[in-house]
């Protein structure tokens, strides 16, 4: 085989091997590190993996937020079921009752979700699509109301 | 009145953009010099029109013209003027106008700095940019018009999202867009080459400074966004692998591959077709990034537009641009033939590997970002791919890239003798391995991940050691004095600084990831918290007001060894119009460490929840970005791009272009040699 040909063959082989190695790495990583999202009703039904981190999302139930020093507990719901979440630290600024949040963490033995991370969205009108869909599926919200920020209906002067 | 003028200008700009696109491209195909000559003036007129449109929108914001829906939704009378200006691009419609305006700026730059380019080329490049402009102007006028009126006009507007009311974030979108849009120039050059069927070293030499300039802006934009997230979001993190962050990172990775590939094409007349393909990908990813941000398709911390109709438009536009350019590549790519062979051990080979890894990383980032979307569409399963996966991929793959980064400057073009290379690598290799061993030993005792730390530090030292080796080699070979250092050229020093910046980045990330500490505490006035040898004393909170917010300002004194080191004033603000609370962290930053305090919530007993961080070498991450950008500036400013072509060169190139017009395209060439 001519040297140029040989070199091209090496190159192609190198690229193929490299790509294969990378793809295997990526796929293995996905299996290992991906996180599933569950609705409260799924968690209550036992569909969430025990002992493995996952994401949960829903609306924060009115009047359910209870803080005890560093630790705070609140309940989220998709109107079909509730799950209590416990978190240590300060909650994000956009966290408020009646709004949608998403949390990462694990379910403990008592069925309380111990969150390592609580996320609320930047826009106060925005709802995470998964939460919106969960609510839609449970029939709690008219579909056309979901996930669309109302274009600025500005408030008159003086109103808060 | 002024805003109506602005609106009218926008519509006119669309017409001019159509002219700029159609006539020059048709003229390039048929050899009609008059049509080709339309390109420059059309681009210049479009710039003026878009400047008017943009200026009128700025005027509307600064003068509180709430008859425009966009202004009413994003501004109010109490906002400081600087944020009224930055509100112009703070939401969807205005940021599109900014994109279009920046495209007009780049087009104007092309008209000015292309005197030595054959007219055919200029016509094609500006024509392609005109087509892109048509796309964006149509998008605005059809779905996202910033000049849309609201009737009756309210007396007071809403608010710019308080998170965006910040100097860092005011400048971040313009910088980012300068980068994204700048890649359209490289893209236009690539398409022009495909259309013309010719690609030589001159093409690479023209493209390089433009591409590097775009890359510089993108680097600055990304670093600014990351820095902003760090001090504004209050979580102390600086990169979350958020889809919008990834959307800017992918074009950056491909852009980096592109500037390296262009170097090979210019110097060695090879990798040509690959460089064209990279230019297409870089711009396509810039557009894809726009799509990801605009359509709200992915759950993202940043998403601020959630209208699927708009997403559909961009999807179609993306399809036309990517499909069209790849189709053209498939059809015409064969005509671009590379000459020049290279050995297995050569700089070309290392650049090829560099490109493969960068493309792989970009592909990986794309995979991680889209995987949840695809799985949701296919199986309905809701999956999230987050930091753990991305960190894993990057930590496994980067060491190979960094190895190449050190080798590259030391290996010659075409072929390098293996024995000689091993000899020259002896010192850097020994230094690197020694540092690894020392670091591993030092950190093994503590509870930090010793292997990762040692690897990160060793890799950074590898880059620096090889850079010094390269520099000293230049000294020795040319018997140079210190004064001669400047003579090495912008290209060399640009590389040197940018790679050094990379080493600084790796060091910063390694140290801060391994050794940062944080604590969530409840404090009453007078309480102290100790972290990493620093004592944070909380002195309580006072009420204060800003122009459009009310705040509770905390006071924290930081001591080390009994001496006062910093006074920090974290705030909890409530913006009056939207009633939105916001945390304003307080940071004391120097080259050694960041001390970061943010207020959490007030508790019932009068104490406060507070979070304190100690982040060693955090600022190295920002400085590293600055170094990389500076390196890019030096490289782009290299004298050889600015050297006025010598008369013979110019005549030769024009004669060649003329010949092509006569032979390659239908139609007669006009008399007269130069454009």
CB proximity A52 to B under 8 Å: no
Q: Which residues of chain B have pLDDT under 50?
A: 298-305, 644-645, 666-675
**Does B383 contact A35 at a Cβ distance shorter than 8 Å?**
yes
**Of B576, B591, B618, which residue constitutes the final position of a domain?**
B618
CB proximity A63 to B under 8 Å: no
Best interface-test mutation with B: which of A9, A24, A26, A72 has the largest number of B CBs within 10 A? Answer: A26
Enumerate the residues of chain A whose CB falls inside 8 A of the CB of residue B156. Answer: 154-157
Could you say which of A34, A90, A148 has the minimum Cβ distance to residue B601?
Answer: A90
One domain for residues A45 and A29: no
H or E element, residue B584 = strand B581-584
Which structure tokens are listed for B185? 């120039």
- pLDDT score of A87: 94
Burial B487-504 (b: 16+ CB within 10 A, else e): ebebbbbbbbbbbbbbbb
Q: Tell me the residue range of the domain where A1 lies.
A: 1-34
Could you say which of B73, B155, B583 has the minimum Cβ distance to residue A152?
Answer: B73
What's the gap in Å between the CA of A72 and the closest CA on chain B? 11
What is the distance between the alpha carbons of residues B511 and B448, in angstroms, rounded to a whole number? 10
Decide if B273 is inside a domain. no
**Does A15 contact B356 at a Cβ distance shorter than 8 Å?**
yes
Helix axes B347-379, B243-268, angle to 10 degrees: 150
- pLDDT score of B164: 81
**Does B307 contact A148 at a Cβ distance shorter than 8 Å?**
yes
**Of B105, B131, B165, which residue constitutes the final position of a domain?**
B165
- pLDDT score of A99: 86
**Does B397 contact A22 at a Cβ distance shorter than 8 Å?**
yes
How many separate domains does chain B show?
2
The whole-number average pLDDT for the span A103-128 is 78
Q: Give A5's pLDDT tier (boundaries 50, 70, 90).
A: confident
Could you say which of B157, B386, B393 has the minimum Cβ distance to residue A35?
Answer: B386
What's the gap in Å between the CA of A110 and the closest CA on chain B? 25
Asked if residues A87 and A71 have their Cβ atoms less than 8 Å apart, the reply is yes
Q: What is the ipTM of this complex?
A: 0.80
- pLDDT score of A121: 63
Nearest CA in chain A to B301: A121
- pLDDT score of B344: 84
Decide if A7 is inside a domain. yes
Decide if A42 is inside a domain. yes
Asked if residues B612 and B527 have their Cβ atoms less than 8 Å apart, the reply is no
What is the distance between the alpha carbons of residues A127 and B550, in angstroms, rounded to a whole number? 26
Interface size A-B, in CB pairs within 8 Å, comes to: 136
One domain for residues A65 and A112: yes
Which structure tokens are listed for B632? 């890019």
Enumerate the residues of chain A whose CB falls inside 8 A of the CB of residue B299. Answer: 102, 128-130
One domain for residues A19 and A97: no
**Does B609 contact A90 at a Cβ distance shorter than 8 Å?**
yes
Grouping H, G, I as helix, E, B as strand and the rest as coil, residue B137 is helix
What is the distance between the alpha carbons of residues B334 and B197, in angstroms, rounded to a whole number? 9
What's the gap in Å between the CA of B299 and the closest CA on chain A? 6
Which structure tokens are listed for B281? 């990908």
Q: What is the CA radius of gyration of chain A?
A: 23
Decide if A15 is inside a domain. yes
Taking the CA atoms of B657, B662, B664 and B665 in sequence, report the sign of the dihedral they define. Answer: positive
Asked if residues B399 and B456 have their Cβ atoms less than 8 Å apart, the reply is no
**Of B165, B183, B213, which residue constitutes the final position of a domain?**
B165
One domain for residues A76 and A53: yes
One domain for residues A46 and A123: yes
One domain for residues A91 and A134: yes
CATH of the domain at A49: 2.40.50.140
Decide if B275 is inside a domain. no
Q: Give A69's pLDDT tier (boundaries 50, 70, 90).
A: confident
Enumerate the residues of chain B whose CB falls inside 8 A of the CB of residue A126. Answer: 303, 306
Decide if B119 is inside a domain. yes
pLDDT higher than threshold 70 for residue A64: yes
One domain for residues A18 and A45: no
First to last CA, chain A: 80
Which of A29-33, A117-121, B248-252, B578-582 shows the lowest mean pLDDT across its residues?
A: B578-582
B665: phi then psi, degrees, rounded to nearest 5: -105, 155
pLDDT tens for B427-482 read 999 999 999 999 998 888 666 688 899 999 999 999 999 999 999 888 877 666 67
Rounded to the nearest angstrom, the gap between the alpha carbon of residue B108 and the centroid of all alpha carbons in its chain is 21
What's the gap in Å between the CA of B601 and the closest CA on chain A? 6
Rounded to the nearest angstrom, the gap between the alpha carbon of residue A42 and the centroid of all alpha carbons in its chain is 14
One domain for residues A74 and A25: no
Q: Tell me the residue range of the domain where B3 lies.
A: 1-165
Enumerate the residues of chain A whose CB falls inside 8 A of the CB of residue B66. Answer: 154
**Does A147 contact B306 at a Cβ distance shorter than 8 Å?**
yes
Decide if B426 is inside a domain. no
Decide if A110 is inside a domain. yes
Asked if residues A87 and A115 have their Cβ atoms less than 8 Å apart, the reply is yes
Could you say which of A34, A94, A149 has the minimum Cβ distance to residue B384?
Answer: A34
Closest by alpha carbon to B94, among B43, B156, B50? B50
**Does B600 contact A157 at a Cβ distance shorter than 8 Å?**
no
What's the gap in Å between the CA of A32 and the closest CA on chain B? 8
Q: Within 10 A of A31 (CB to CB), how many other CB atoms are there?
A: 9
Q: Give A131's pLDDT tier (boundaries 50, 70, 90).
A: low
Higher-pLDDT residue of A77, A7? A77
What is the distance between the alpha carbons of residues B25 and B497, in angstroms, rounded to a whole number? 40
What is the distance between the alpha carbons of residues B663 and B669, in angstroms, rounded to a whole number? 10
Enumerate the residues of chain A whose CB falls inside 8 A of the CB of residue B340. Answer: none
Could you say which of B397, B579, B609 has the minimum Cβ distance to residue A70?
Answer: B609
Enumerate the residues of chain A whose CB falls inside 8 A of the CB of residue B73. Answer: 151-152, 154
Decide if B34 is inside a domain. yes
pLDDT higher than threshold 50 for residue A47: yes
Decide if A155 is inside a domain. no
**Does B306 contact A148 at a Cβ distance shorter than 8 Å?**
yes
One domain for residues A47 and A18: no
Could you say which of A25, A30, A157 has the minimum Cβ distance to residue B155?
Answer: A157
Which structure tokens are listed for B559? 């001591």
**Does B360 contact A18 at a Cβ distance shorter than 8 Å?**
yes
Enumerate the residues of chain B whose CB falls inside 8 A of the CB of residue A22. Answer: 360, 364, 397
Nearest CA in chain A to B581: A93
What's the gap in Å between the CA of A83 and the closest CA on chain B? 18
CB proximity A152 to B under 8 Å: yes
What's the gap in Å between the CA of B384 and the closest CA on chain A? 5
DSSP string covering B375-397:
HHHHH---EE--HHHHHHHHHHH
Which structure tokens are listed for B373? 């979307």
One domain for residues A67 and A140: yes
pLDDT higher than threshold 60 for residue A123: no
Classify residue A46 as left (phi > 0), alpha (psi -120 to 50) or beta: left
First to last CA, chain B: 41
Enumerate the residues of chain A whose CB falls inside 8 A of the CB of residue B603. Answer: 67, 69
Nearest CA in chain B to A32: B389
Decide if B253 is inside a domain. no
Grouping H, G, I as helix, E, B as strand and the rest as coil, residue B73 is helix
What is the distance between the alpha carbons of residues A77 and B257, in angstroms, rounded to a whole number? 47
- pLDDT score of A138: 66
Could you say which of B301, B356, B389 has the minimum Cβ distance to residue A18?
Answer: B356
What's the gap in Å between the CA of A84 and the closest CA on chain B? 20
**Does A129 contact B299 at a Cβ distance shorter than 8 Å?**
yes
**Angle CA B335–B337–B339, to nearest 5:** 165
Decide if A153 is inside a domain. no
CA dist B16 → B39, B44, B131, B183 (Å): 10, 10, 11, 22
Decide if A119 is inside a domain. yes
**Does A93 contact B580 at a Cβ distance shorter than 8 Å?**
yes
Which structure tokens are listed for B567? 């006074």
Could you say which of B154, B307, B580 has the minimum Cβ distance to residue A156?
Answer: B154
How many separate domains does chain A show?
2
Helix axes B119-143, B167-196, angle to 10 degrees: 130
One domain for residues A117 and A129: yes
Which structure tokens are listed for B347? 């700089």
**Does A90 contact B520 at a Cβ distance shorter than 8 Å?**
yes
**Angle CA B563–B566–B569, to nearest 5:** 140
With a CB cutoff of 8 Å and minimum separation 6, the contacts of A70 are A88, A89, B520, B521, B522, B609
CATH of the domain at B153: 1.20.120
What is the distance between the alpha carbons of residues B57 and B84, in angstroms, rounded to a whole number? 11
Decide if A80 is inside a domain. yes
What is the distance between the alpha carbons of residues B435 and B453, in angstroms, rounded to a whole number? 11
pLDDT higher than threshold 80 for residue A142: no
Nearest CA in chain A to B576: A160
Q: Which residue pairs from B363-370 have beta carbons closer than 8 angstroms and sit at least 24 positions apart in sequence?
A: B364/A22, B364/A26, B364/B390, B364/B393, B364/B397, B365/B246, B365/B249, B365/B250, B365/B253, B365/B390, B366/B246, B366/B250, B367/A26, B368/A30, B368/B241, B368/B246, B368/B393, B369/B243, B369/B246, B369/B247, B369/B292, B369/B298
Best interface-test mutation with A: which of B242, B302, B384 has the largest number of A CBs within 10 A? Answer: B384
What's the gap in Å between the CA of A68 and the closest CA on chain B? 9
Altogether, the residues listed in chain B come to a count of 675
Q: Within 10 A of A143 (CB to CB), how many other CB atoms are there?
A: 10
- pLDDT score of B674: 38
The whole-number average pLDDT for the span A120-124 is 56
One domain for residues A28 and A55: no
What is the distance between the alpha carbons of residues B216 and B206, in angstroms, rounded to a whole number? 17
What's the gap in Å between the CA of A141 and the closest CA on chain B? 18
Asked if residues B175 and B220 have their Cβ atoms less than 8 Å apart, the reply is yes
Q: Is B128 exposed, middle or buried (0-12, 13-18, 19+ CB in 10 A)?
A: buried
Enumerate the residues of chain A whose CB falls inside 8 A of the CB of residue B388. Answer: 33
Enumerate the residues of chain B whose CB falls inside 8 A of the CB of residue A160. Answer: 576, 579
**Does A22 contact B601 at a Cβ distance shorter than 8 Å?**
no
Enumerate the residues of chain B whose CB falls inside 8 A of the CB of residue A4. Answer: 341
Q: Tell me the helices (H) and strands (E) count for chain A, helix number first.
A: 3, 7
CB proximity A126 to B under 8 Å: yes
What is the 8-class DSSP label of residue B413? S
What is the distance between the alpha carbons of residues B626 and B216, in angstroms, rounded to a whole number? 9
Which of A85-99, A114-128, B481-495 shows the lowest mean pLDDT across its residues?
A: A114-128
Taking the CA atoms of B176, B177, B178 and B181 in sequence, report the sign of the dihedral they define. Answer: positive
Higher-pLDDT residue of A121, B564? B564
């Amino acid at each position: 085989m001519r040297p140029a040909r040989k070199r091209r063959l090496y190159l192609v082989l190198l690229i193929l091997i490299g790509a294969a190695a990378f793809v295997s790495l990526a796929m293995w990583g996905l299996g290992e590190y991906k996180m599933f999202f569950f609705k409260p009703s799924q968690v209550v039904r036992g569909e969430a993996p025990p002992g493995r981190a996952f994401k949960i999302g829903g609306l924060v139930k009115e009047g359910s937020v209870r803080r005890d020093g560093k630790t705070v507990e609140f309940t989220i719901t998709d109107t079909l079921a509730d799950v209590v979440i416990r978190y240590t630290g300060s909650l994000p600024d956009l966290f408020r009752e009646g709004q949608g949040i998403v949390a990462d963490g694990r379910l403990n033995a008592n069925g309380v979700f111990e969150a390592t991370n609580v996320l609320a969205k930047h826009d106060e009108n925005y709802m995470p699509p998964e939460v919106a869909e969960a609510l839609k599926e449970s029939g709690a919200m008219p579909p056309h109301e979901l996930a669309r920020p109302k274009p600025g209906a500005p408030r008159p002067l003086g109103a808060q | 009145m002024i805003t109506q003028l602005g609106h009218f200008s926008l519509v006119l700009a669309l017409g001019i953009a159509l002219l700029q696109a159609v006539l020059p491209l048709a003229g390039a195909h048929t050899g009609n010099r008059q049509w080709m000559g339309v390109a420059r003036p059309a681009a210049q007129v479009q710039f003026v029109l878009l400047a008017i449109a943009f200026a009128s929108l700025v005027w509307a914001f600064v003068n509180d013209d709430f008859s425009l829906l966009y202004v009413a939704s994003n501004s109010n009378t109490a906002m400081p003027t600087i944020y009224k200006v930055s509100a112009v691009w703070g939401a969807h419609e205005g940021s599109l106008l900014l994109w279009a305006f920046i495209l007009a700026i780049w087009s104007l730059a092309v008209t000015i700095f292309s005197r030595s380019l054959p007219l055919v080329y200029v016509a094609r490049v500006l024509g392609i940019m005109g087509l892109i402009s048509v796309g964006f102007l149509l998008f605005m006028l059809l779905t996202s018009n910033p000049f849309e009126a609201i009737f009756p006009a309210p007396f007071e507007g809403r608010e710019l999202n308080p998170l965006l009311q910040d100097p860092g974030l005011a400048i971040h979108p313009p910088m980012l867009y300068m980068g994204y849009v700048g890649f359209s120039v490289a893209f236009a050059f690539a398409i022009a080459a495909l259309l013309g069927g010719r690609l030589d070293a001159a093409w690479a030499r023209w493209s390089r400074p433009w591409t590097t300039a775009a890359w510089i802006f993108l680097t600055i934009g990304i670093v600014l966004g990351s820095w902003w997230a760090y001090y504004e979001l209050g979580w102390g993190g600086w990169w979350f692998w958020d889809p919008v962050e990834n959307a800017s990172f992918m074009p950056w990775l491909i852009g980096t591959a592109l500037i390296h590939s262009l170097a090979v094409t210019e110097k060695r007349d090879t990798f040509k077709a690959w460089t064209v393909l990279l230019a297409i990908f870089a711009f396509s990813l810039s557009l894809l990034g726009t799509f990801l941000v605009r359509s709200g398709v992915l759950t993202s911390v940043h998403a601020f537009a959630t209208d699927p109709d708009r997403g559909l438009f961009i999807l179609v536009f993306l399809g036309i641009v990517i499909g069209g350019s790849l189709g053209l590549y498939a059809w015409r790519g064969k005509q671009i033939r590379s000459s020049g062979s290279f050995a297995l051990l050569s700089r070309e080979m290392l650049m090829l590997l560099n490109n493969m890894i960068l493309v792989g990383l970009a592909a990986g980032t794309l995979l991680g970002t889209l995987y949840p979307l695809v799985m949701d569409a296919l199986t309905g399963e809701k999956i999230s791919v987050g930091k753990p996966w991305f960190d894993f991929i990057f930590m496994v793959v980067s060491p190979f890239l960094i190895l190449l980064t050190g080798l590259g400057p030391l290996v010659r073009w075409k072929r390098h003798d293996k024995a000689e290379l091993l000899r020259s690598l002896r010192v850097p290799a020994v230094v690197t391995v020694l540092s690894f061993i020392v670091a591993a030993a030092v950190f093994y005792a503590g509870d930090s991940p010793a292997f990762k730390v040692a690897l990160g530090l060793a890799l950074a030292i590898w880059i620096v050691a090889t850079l010094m080796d390269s520099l000293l080699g230049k000294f020795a070979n040319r018997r140079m004095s210190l004064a001669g250092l400047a003579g090495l050229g912008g290209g060399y020093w640009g590389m040197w600084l940018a790679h050094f910046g990379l080493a600084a980045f790796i060091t910063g990330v390694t140290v801060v990831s391994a050794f940062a500490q944080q604590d969530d505490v409840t404090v009453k006035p007078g309480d102290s918290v100790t972290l990493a040898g620093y004592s944070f004393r909380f002195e309580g909170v006072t009420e204060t007001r800003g122009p459009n917010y009310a705040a509770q300002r905390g006071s924290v004194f930081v001591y080390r060894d009994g001496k006062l080191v910093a006074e920090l004033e974290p705030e909890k603000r409530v913006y009056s119009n939207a009633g939105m609370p916001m945390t304003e962290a307080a940071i004391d930053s120097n080259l050694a460490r960041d001390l970061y305090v943010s207020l959490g919530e007030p508790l019932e007993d009068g104490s406060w929840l507070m979070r304190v961080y100690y982040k060693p070498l955090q600022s190295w991450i920002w400085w590293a970005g600055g170094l990389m950008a500076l390196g890019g500036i030096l490289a782009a400013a290299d004298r050889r791009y600015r050297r006025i072509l010598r008369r013979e060169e110019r005549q030769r190139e024009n004669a060649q272009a003329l010949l092509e017009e006569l032979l390659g395209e239908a139609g007669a060439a006009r008399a007269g040699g130069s454009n």
